[in-house]
Amino acid sequence: MQYPEPISKLMDSYMKLPGIGAKTAARLAFFTIDMDEEDVTDFAKSLISAKRDLHYCSICGNITESDPCDICRDKDRDRSTILVVEDVKDVMALERVREYHGLYHVLHGILSPIEGTGPEDINIPSLLKRLQSEEVQEVILATNASAEGEATATYLSRLIRPAGIKVTRLAHGLSVGSDIEYADEITLLKAVEGRREI
């Protein structure tokens, strides 16, 4: 039996999300149909608002409603330190710790020859530009403890060190293969405190 076209289209939309297969998409589609119309409208408005109203900070690459983002605009942040992360979600995770008071830089990916991701495909040029124009004394590399994350950290270290800027790496309080986004606050705090020069 074939689903009516509106359900099929809704299922196809849900299957575009990561980790959603046909069975989960069908379950979500029927759940959506059973929702109050007002809730569905609010859900649709939230999707549209997230897509239209959010963009990346022109300085650090963090997601924001205003440009530059709140962190880059904050005059109380330590401007001598930039913490480099792979993804916006990593900024959110580190901010929950409330112990790091410097600036961030979001790469929006990592080097991965297998997936064809090279230095030109991630947010490296704007980082190098920031290092020329700001009074940065330390760059903390906070890429994940994966083979690609380590390769990205090593690559960035080789680019940055000739400028005379201290380059450190988060301590491996984070387990190898884990993502910063899923680490608890204490693990992240220990990782930031135990960073080391590379």
Q: What is the pTM of this model?
A: 0.79
User: Is residue 180 a contact partner of residue 161, using CB atoms and an 8 Å limit?
Assistant: no
Q: What is the pLDDT of residue 1?
A: 64
C-alpha of 152 from chain center? 15
Q: What is the pLDDT of residue 173?
A: 64
| Domains of the chain by start residue, with CATH | 5-53 (1.10.8.420), 74-197 (3.40.1360.10)
User: Is residue 176 a contact partner of residue 144, using CB atoms and an 8 Å limit?
Assistant: no
Cα 91 from Cα 2, distance rounded (Å) = 44
Residues of the chain with pLDDT below 50 are none
Cα 182 from Cα 135, distance rounded (Å) = 32
- pLDDT cut 90: percent of the chain above it: 68
Residue 28, both tokens: 């979500």
Q: What is the pLDDT of residue 133?
A: 73
The stretches of 35-166 forming alpha helices (DSSP H) are: 37-53, 70-73, 88-97, 125-133, 147-160
